[in-house]
Amino acid sequence: MNAGLSPFLASVERARTQVASAAATDPEAQRVRRAALDRFVAAGLPGARDENWKYLILRALARSEWVLPSPPAAGVRAPEDLLTMAGATRFVFVDGRFDAGLSSPRATSPVTRIETLAELYARAPEQLASMVPVDDRADTRFALLNTAFALDGASVEIAGGESPLIYVVFIATGSASAQATFPRIRIRATRGASATIVEHHVADGGGSRFVNSLAEIEVDDSSRVDLCRLHALAAEARQFDTLRARVGAHSTFALHSLMVGGDVVRSDVDVALSGPAAAGQINGLMVTAGTQHHELHAELRHAVPHTTSRTHVRAVVNDSGRSICNSKVIVAAGAKGSVSEQNFRNLLLASGAEADTRPQLEINNDDVKCSHGASTGRLDPNMLFYLLSRGIDAAMARGLLTYAFVIDLLKDLPVAEVSRTVARLAAGTLPDRDLIKDFI
Amino acid sequence: MLSIQNLVVSIGDRRILKGLSLEVGAGEVHAIMGPNGSGKSTLAQVLAGRPEYTIHSGKVLYKGRDLLALPPEERARAGVFLGFQYPVEIPGVNNVYLLKAALNAVRRHRGLAELDAFEFLALVKDKMRLMQIDETFLSRAVNEGFSGGEKKRNEILQHLVLEPELAILDETDSGLDIDALKIVAHGVNATRRADRAILLVTHYQRLLEHVVPDRVHVLTDGRIVRSGDRTLALELERQGYDWLRHEGRRA
């Protein structure tokens, strides 16, 4: 039977066998994983008829093979580009496994609990069932795949008035080519909690990688979560990512989706505003060069009255890079007084660069305030001439203005160190980066 | 210093300068006056190297060199400065960084060592006092959120720091109240030297009360139709431009 499978699905089946034969796994966990895997296989890989997948070369995805990671060698060193943030709890996973050596001691408090998913499920087995994405929307498939193979992950629960800064790092290492990792993070904030979480995807060394990540967030009862997701994988890595968030009463979820690395990065974001006065924010940055391909698919649902959302996405596309942003805001029939704003700006730096933006609004009642705007263009000739007229070199002027375009979004980030790092990483892929180094 | 001979320039299908000639010597301040749409700003932009314009014929010599052959950044380094009528806001690029990069580009061209951060800041703060610009300016982005008056003062601040040999100030007086006008005029006068020239492009003569020009030229319909000393500006103030319009057509 395997003979007819694409290399990708054959890899799935090999991994299934490998996981099934691993002893000492909790039977309930086995059952949950198997169920998720069966649903993934039933859904299959996306095909040419899937509107949401039309930008990727799906044949390349189907042809790609991957293997589950072998346990990493002892004493993995932290990659040099990890962030240094004062007061942050660092929580590190190497190839999907928790690494105590690279992590900082976890501060315990009556209201903040930072633990691994393994610890969570051991403590509260009833949580296992919540691992599986409930609905069967088209882009659930990679969430299901993650559920089937995630070895571990991070769980953050805050239930009260603390404002921790938590740094979760997922390092993909290993010398094996096409190694797959399944990073996973779960965040629960309630009772007036406020948390800033930095999620960093990074590869240690080159080589092709398949990273299938999942983030699940619940913010409720006058809480706020700021999540900075730094997608900074090496040039040959492909990342298929899913984020699902539910925002309850008087709560805010702000997502800062920062794509600055990888060969292919696709992130499917689903935010449900399900309590009164819930707010959702998406700040997206995509910086591509060479043949890099970034996609952000965001769906923001206003389910109840008086909810607000704001989506700001900026893309810089150089060389033959490609940047895709599909953003859909849905206002339910009863969700009166909803306010939504979507704004997209693409900067194209080369004739082979391409940016596709599709803002969508689905409004099912009259009493709403929704706006959207999108622009795609090259560097502003007035700004360029102004810099040239001051004696600034043409290449440097272009680099400066490109950098300025990126900075404009980064100034809204809640953690200065993340802004600085993203600015540096983004600048590293910009043309004429050496010329503008004094400005960074 | 500057010699413009029979310059013919268009943008798109529209011919704007129709054979303009002008001589400006070192140490001189010349004022170009004229009604809206006469080509004043086009002249300023063409001298600074704005790429959208097409030069059909004519010559521009700057210190004996063919100015039109140089790209805009090289003109700036060679000592040509344009004070913009509408200074551009550049979010994300800091004022001070721009000024430092601009100054060092000019200094390299002149064979001078680059200023270190300390020397540079001392220089800028000194000039900022002259232009009555407060210190918050240092941390702001280029012209971002500046009032009209602040933008114009920033242009003159750059003028003071960069010390160009030929400064073209395009309607630097427009949109200024009388106090700001005096500050700007004071700044411009501070740059006057025997080896530098200034071309003031203006619609009204009120700036010329504070920056007294050696020569005044009237530009109408793409040509200079009348030149004289500063009394010409006063006459224009009394009679308006209509009095000279027919001369543009006849010439």
Residue A147 has pLDDT above 80, yes or no: yes
Residue A386, chain B, CB below 8 Å: the answer is yes
Pairing of strands A237-247, A264-273: parallel
**Most A-contacting residue of B93, B94, B103 (CB-CB within 10 A), to test interface:** B93
Residues B68 and A245: their CA atoms lie apart, in Å, by 59
Nearest CA-CA distance, residue B148 and chain A, Å: 17
Determine, yes or no, domain membership for B59. Answer: no
Predicted confidence at residue B240, as pLDDT, reads 80
Measured N-to-C along each axis, helices A7-21 and A141-149 cross at an angle, to the nearest 10 degrees, of 30
Q: Whole-prediction pTM value?
A: 0.85
Q: Nearest residue of B to residue A400 by CA position? A: B93
**Residue A14 neighbours by CB distance under 10 Å:** 15
**Which CATH number belongs to the domain containing residue B202 in this structure?**
3.40.50.300
pLDDT tens, residue by residue, A95-104: 999 999 999 9
Half-sphere exposure of residue A111, counting CA atoms within 13 Å on the CB side? Answer: 15
Residue A413 has pLDDT above 90, yes or no: yes
DSSP-derived 3-state class of residue B8: strand
Nearest CA-CA distance, residue B241 and chain A, Å: 30
Residue A407, chain B, CB below 8 Å: the answer is yes
pLDDT tens, residue by residue, A242-274: 999 999 999 999 999 999 988 999 999 999 999
pLDDT band at B251 (very low <50, low <70, confident <90, very high): very low
Residues A367 and A339: their CA atoms lie apart, in Å, by 9
Asked if A106 contacts A91 with a C-beta cutoff of 8 angstroms, the reply is yes
Nearest to B98 among A382, A390, A407 (CB): A390
Asked if A378 contacts A348 with a C-beta cutoff of 8 angstroms, the reply is yes
B141 vs A contacts (CB less than 8 Å) = 404
B106 vs A contacts (CB less than 8 Å) = 391
What kind and span of H or E run contains B114? Answer: none
pLDDT tens, residue by residue, B16-60: 999 999 999 999 999 999 888 899 999 999 999 999 999 999 999
- When pLDDT is averaged across residues B216-230 and rounded to a whole number, the result is 92
pLDDT band at A3 (very low <50, low <70, confident <90, very high): low
DSSP-derived 3-state class of residue B89: coil
Residue B167 has pLDDT above 70, yes or no: yes
pLDDT band at B250 (very low <50, low <70, confident <90, very high): very low
Residue B248 has pLDDT above 80, yes or no: no
Q: Which domain holds residue B82?
A: 29-45+76-250
Predicted confidence at residue B205, as pLDDT, reads 83
- When pLDDT is averaged across residues B107-113 and rounded to a whole number, the result is 92
Q: In Å, what is the CA distance from B113 to each residue of A365, A394, A437, B110, B126?
A: 66, 22, 20, 9, 20
Domains in chain B, number: 1
A386 vs B contacts (CB less than 8 Å) = 84, 87-88, 90, 142
A172 closest CA partner among A129, A233, A127, A123? A233
Whose tokens are 């010409």? That residue is: B232
Nearest to A383 among B50, B88, B101 (CB): B88
Q: What is the ipTM of this complex?
A: 0.95
What kind and span of H or E run contains B229? Answer: none
Nearest to B88 among A382, A392, A439 (CB): A382
- When pLDDT is averaged across residues B137-158 and rounded to a whole number, the result is 90
Q: Nearest residue of B to residue A438 by CA position? A: B97
Predicted confidence at residue B70, as pLDDT, reads 96
Most confident of A43-47, A144-148, B177-181: A144-148
Pairing of strands B65-66, B54-62: antiparallel
Determine, yes or no, domain membership for B7. Answer: no
What are the helix (H) ranges across chain B?
A: 40-48, 72-77, 95-109, 117-130, 148-162, 178-190, 231-239, 242-250
Check CB contact under 8 Å for A388 and B106.
no
Check CB contact under 8 Å for B92 and A405.
yes
Residues B173 and B185: their CA atoms lie apart, in Å, by 8
Determine, yes or no, domain membership for B172. Answer: yes
Check CB contact under 8 Å for B88 and A388.
no
Residues B210 and A127: their CA atoms lie apart, in Å, by 79
Q: In Å, what is the CA distance from B30 to each residue of A155, A309, B202, B218?
A: 72, 56, 11, 11
* Mean pLDDT over the full length of chain B: 90
What kind and span of H or E run contains B146? Answer: none
DSSP-derived 3-state class of residue B17: strand
pLDDT tens, residue by residue, A74-97: 667 777 789 999 999 999 999 999
A165 closest CA partner among A54, A110, A86? A86
Asked if B209 contacts B222 with a C-beta cutoff of 8 angstroms, the reply is no
Residues B67 and A128: their CA atoms lie apart, in Å, by 75
Residue A24 has pLDDT above 70, yes or no: no
A341 closest CA partner among A295, A303, A300? A300
Residue B203 has pLDDT above 50, yes or no: yes
Q: Extract the tokens encoding A17.
A: 């066998």
Lowest mean pLDDT, pick from A297-311, A359-373, A401-415, B235-249 = B235-249
pLDDT tens, residue by residue, A281-291: 999 999 998 99
Cross-strand bridge partners of residue A339: A308, A369
| Residue A159 φ/ψ, nearest 5 degrees | -135, 70
pLDDT tens, residue by residue, B65-80: 999 999 999 999 999 9
pLDDT band at A440 (very low <50, low <70, confident <90, very high): low
B42 closest CA partner among B70, B14, B5? B14
pLDDT band at A137 (very low <50, low <70, confident <90, very high): low
Counting one residue from chain A and one from chain B, the pairs whose CB atoms sit within 8 A come to: 79
**Most B-contacting residue of A383, A389, A412, A430 (CB-CB within 10 A), to test interface:** A389
Taking an 8 Å Cβ-Cβ cutoff, which residues of chain B contact chain A?
48-52, 71-73, 75-77, 81-82, 84, 87-88, 90-94, 97-98, 101-102, 105-106, 109, 141-142, 158, 162
B77 vs A contacts (CB less than 8 Å) = 391
* Mean pLDDT over the full length of chain A: 89
pLDDT tens, residue by residue, A153-176: 999 999 988 889 999 999 988 666
Instruction: Taking the CA atoms of A142, A143, A147 and A153 in sequence, report the sign of the dihedral they define.
Output: positive
